[in-house]
Every structure is written in C-alpha cells, then in structure tokens.
Amino acid sequence: MILVAGLVLLGWVLRIEALESGLPGLATMKVNSACAFGLAGFALWRIHLGEPGSRSVRLARAIALGVAGVGVLTLFENMTRIDLGIDQLLMPDSNPQGAHGGPQGRMSPATAVSFIFLGLSLACLKSLRPKVAACAQWLAMPVLLVSVLALVGYAYGVNSLYEVRPYASMAVHTAGCLLILIASLLAADPAHGIANIASSSSAGGVMVRRLLPALCLALFVLGRLGLAGQQAGLYDFRFGMALMVLASCAVSAAAVSLTAMTLRKVDLTRRRAEAQVTVLNAGLERRVEERTRELARVSADLAAANVALEQLSLHDGLTGLANRRYFDAHLATQMAIMRRQRRGLALVLCDIDVFKAFNDEYGHQAGDECLKKVAAALRSCCRRPADMAARYGGEEFALILPETDLRGAQRIAEAAREAVAKLRIPHGPSAMAPHVTISGGISATQRKVDFTVERLIAGADAALYQAKAEGRDRIATLPVQPIYQRA
C-alpha cells in the first residue's frame, strides 16, 4: 500500500494519468486517498510486526485513527456541503469540478466510509483484549463489501455500483487496494474472527478455505462470460440468465461435492484416529488394572510381612512368648496405668530348676523342646487379656499380672508351677523331683510404697533367689520395703 500510494502521488506530481486513474478515462485516486492508503499500510505493518503495547504499536494505532478521521471529515463535507479545505490541502486537483462526478480533490463517499471502518479496524487489530481484537475483523467486513461491489461494477460496467451521484466515483485501483488491504488485515490476526475459522483444521475451516474463494471467483467469471456473450449477440437476455443460473448451479454442486469428499476423508481419518485412541485407552486401562491388582497383591504381601516382622520383633522365636523387648514395654505401660488408676500390679519371675544339668544330660534339642512345653504351660495360666507370659532370658520366664494383688499373684504362680509339674518331663539329674520343676518369685505393688519398674523387677528377682535358697520347686514372696522421700 505504501508503494501504491507513492506511485499515485508521483502520478499527481508528474501529471501521469495512468497512475492517477489506473486506466484511461476512469475516476482518479485522490491525493487524500493515496495518503490514507500509505498511512494505513504503515500502520498495518507496524501493528503486525511490533510488540503488543510498544511505542511503535501505539503510534500505529494513532495513525489508524487518523485515517478514520480523514474519512469522517470527508463524509462530513459530502453530507453538509461544507468545504473544509482538506481536499486541496496537499495538492490541487487540476481536473474541473464534475469531470469525474464530484468536487475537486475529494474522495467518494464510499471511499470515505471505507476509510472510517478501515481505520477503526486497524486500531482494534491485535488488541490485548480478545473481544476488541475480534471486532477488528468484523469492522473490516463493510470495507470488503464496498470494494467487491466497486470491482464488480467496473468489471460488469455497472456505474451505480462504484459511483454515487452527484459525488465522485471510487477509482478502480482504490477498490483493488481496499480489497488487498482488508485481506492482509484478516491474514495478520488468524487468532480471532473469521480468520481463526478459516485457518483452523476443523471441518468449518476446510469448508471456508475451499468453498468461499472457489464459489466467489467462479460466479464472478461466469457472470462476466455470460454478459460478454449477450454483448456479442450470441443469445438474448433470458437465455443468458438461464445459462448463468445453470452454470452457477453446476459450479456450486462441483465445489460442494469436492468439499464434501475432502471433509469425508478428514472425518474418516479422525474416526480411525479415535478408534486407535480407544484401543490404546482400553489397553492402557487394562494394564493399569493389572498393575493395580499387582500393587494390591504386593501391598497385601508387604502388610503380611510387616505383621510377621512385628511378631518376630516382639516375640521369642523359640517359645512364641513375648521377648524381652516386648516385656519391658508392656511392663512400663502397665506400671503407668497402675499409677494413674491406682490399681495393683504383680510380677512373677520363674526359671527351670537345674536346667543346665538337663541340657547336659539330654542335649540342647531336648532342652529346646522342654522350653517350648514350659512356655505353653505358663501361657495357659494367663487367662485375662492384659496378662502376659514372656521369656525373660535363657530358662527364665516372667508373668505380668495387671490388677492383681499379692494373693492373686500367688494363686496364679502356684497354678503355673503345678501346670509345669503335670507335664512330667523327665529330669534325672534333678534332686527335687524326677521331672522338670520351676521356682518363682513374686513382687506386687502395695499402698504407701512408691514403686518403679526397676524396683518391681528387683523384688521379684530377690524372691526368686529366696525360693532357690529354700530348696527350689516353690514360689517365694519377700516384703517390699517402702521408700521415704524428704518433704
């Protein structure tokens, strides 16, 4: 547009009619129109290449509004018949008034209206606001319609399509420049409006790209050929009209058919892709389900392993009773409960009498079997959920008896001793009995005595040594001395 504007201005300076009017004898492009085209081309160039919000883009939008202002002032002159002097401001028109159907140097009303919409469209082009940016293409539609009407009028020889009497006519290259400029404006922003649809890969985009240009160009050519045939006398007006309608229907049907075939191929390709995606999704879901089941199985195995590991960490591997670690934690917990709720707590420590001699006589495997049987007998004496039988170490065992006083602990300890005796495990080296026996010591909390875990264990251990000193195969109890504290 800048080049066209320069050539037209050069034609006005050098009085070259071909540059002024495009074709001899036609209306000329006015100086104001050429300047407006140059400014519009510059504005479109800077808006398209510049960064949004930059100084050059803001300057370009101001120039676009100036182009719209030229159109507004010219339209005001045509409507009010007031001469503002802008028509002869840059360069006077040497043609007499009325030679081209209008005042000297003044563009036609259609051109002025086109510049108004063109300037506003350029000002909205590529705006940061999506709604304003979309308005740019809709504002360009009236300019597109005016330019196409003028070109059709020149091609068909219909003066009323490009001439508004008693005002000036729109020059042929003015209409062509408007058409090219609007096409460039639409192509500059494919993210909004009709350009977004035309450039998309959707069915609507394919239809616009194939049908719209083909039908417009084909109907234009058919109409011009039909008119040329009538002017040459080959047929009359009615035959020419019927031929025009028939040819238009054939071209339209061919264009629609070709477009339908293209859309069908696109649709089949899309369906095949969707079917492949469905198959892939089904396979993916199947693999996900298999992986989920596998993870669930692994999680179950891991949970079972954790339970087994917890059992191994808290229970003795040989006897199945609580190990020393579990014994210490459970005794500390029961001691805290005893202090908070002021209830009784008893501890029984016992071991197998002369067990070393048993191992020496019968072997370690027999000793392990003996430990298992004794552990089972002790476990059977723990009737309540909070009672615990534990392997204290080696051949030593312990019974934790919550909410049990000294007498209750003596009854349970005696029952445990009798349960071991009833096993009748042969013990030849024993001097107390011909079978395996146990000795035990009891320690129980008492009122007015400050008990700790260590003191409770020490009391039961002292009672156990007392039972061994008295001859074994018995349960002993020692009184616990109170601990006095300073006030």
Report which of 424, 423, 439 is spatially closest to residue 472, judged by C-alpha positions: 439
Is the Cβ–Cβ distance between 8 and 29 less than 8 Å? yes
Cβ-in-10-Å burial (0-12, 13-18, 19+) of 280 comes to: exposed
Structure tokens at 306: 């954790």
Angle at 200 between CA 194 and CA 204, to 5 degrees: 70
Tell me how far apart the alpha carbons of residues 363 and 308 are, in angstroms, rounded to a whole number. Answer: 30
Is the Cβ–Cβ distance between 449 and 480 less than 8 Å? yes
Is the Cβ–Cβ distance between 214 and 182 less than 8 Å? no
Cβ-in-10-Å burial (0-12, 13-18, 19+) of 14 comes to: exposed
Long-range pairs of 463-466 with CB within 8 A, sequence gap ≥ 24: 463/349, 464/349, 464/350, 464/351, 464/439, 464/440, 465/441, 466/441
- Dmax (CA) for the chain in angstroms is 152
Active site residues: 395
Helix residue spans in 157-231 (DSSP H) = 172-188, 193-198, 203-231
Helix (H) or strand (E) holding 421: helix 406-421
Is the Cβ–Cβ distance between 402 and 445 less than 8 Å? no
Other beta carbons less than 10 A from residue 237's beta carbon: 9
Is the Cβ–Cβ distance between 255 and 218 less than 8 Å? yes
What are phi and psi for residue 95, nearest 5 degrees? Answer: -75, 140
Cβ-in-10-Å burial (0-12, 13-18, 19+) of 300 comes to: exposed
Is the Cβ–Cβ distance between 318 and 371 less than 8 Å? yes
Query: What is the Cα 186 distance to its own chain's centre?
Result: 33
Handedness of CA 18, 20, 23, 24 (dihedral sign): negative
DSSP 59-109: HHHHHHHHHHHHHHHHHHHHHH----S-TTSSS---SPTTTTSSSTTPPPH
Tell me the Cα Rg of the chain. Answer: 55
Strand partners of residue 440: 350, 475
Query: What is the Cα 414 distance to its own chain's centre?
Result: 72
